[in-house]
Amino acid sequence: MKKRAKIIIIALVAATLIVLLFPVKIRHKEDGGTVEYKAIVYTVTKLHAPTGPNEYIGGTVIELFGREIYRSEEKFYEDRGDTVAGSDPADTGSNVDPAATQPGTPRDSGTSLRFWILDKFGDSDSEGMQRTSMMGGREYVEDKYPVVTDEGGYNPRAPEVYVSYVVTPWPDYADGENGFFVTRINIADPEVGVFGVTMNSTQEEFILQMEKNGLTVVTAYEDDPGWSPENPRFALVAFSPNGEYEIRLSRSADGNVIFYIDAPVSNRDNIVF
- The share of the chain scoring above pLDDT 70, in percent, equals 69
Q: Which amino acid is at 93?
A: G
> Helix, strand or coil for residue 54?
coil
Residue 157 has pLDDT above 90, yes or no: yes
Of the ranges 19-28, 100-109, 189-198, the best mean pLDDT one: 189-198
- Integer Cα distance of 58 and 42 in angstroms: 20
Query: In this structure, are strands 257-262 and 246-251 parallel, antiparallel, or unpaired?
Result: antiparallel
> Angle at CA 170, nearest 5°, toward 223 and 262?
35
At residue 226 the predicted structure's pLDDT band, cuts being 50, 70 and 90, is: low
236 DSSP β-pair partners: 219, 249
Predicted confidence at residue 166, as pLDDT, reads 96
Q: Which residue has the higher pLDDT, 195 or 44?
A: 195
- Please, what's the largest Cα pairwise distance for the chain? 91
Predicted confidence at residue 62, as pLDDT, reads 86
pLDDT in tens, 77-93: 544 443 333 333 333 33
Residue 205 has pLDDT above 90, yes or no: yes
pLDDT (average), residues 9-33: 64
- Integer Cα distance of 16 and 24 in angstroms: 15
pLDDT (average), residues 144-170: 93
- Closest alpha carbon to 23 in 37, 34, 44: 37
Predicted confidence at residue 103, as pLDDT, reads 45
Q: Cβ contacts of residue 252 below 8 Å, gap of 6+?
A: 231, 232, 233
- Closest alpha carbon to 231 in 247, 220, 239, 217: 220
Q: Which residue has the higher pLDDT, 172 or 254?
A: 172
Predicted confidence at residue 79, as pLDDT, reads 45
pLDDT (average), residues 231-242: 78
Q: Which amino acid is at 13?
A: V
N-term to C-term CA, the chain = 57
Average pLDDT over the chain, rounded to an integer: 78
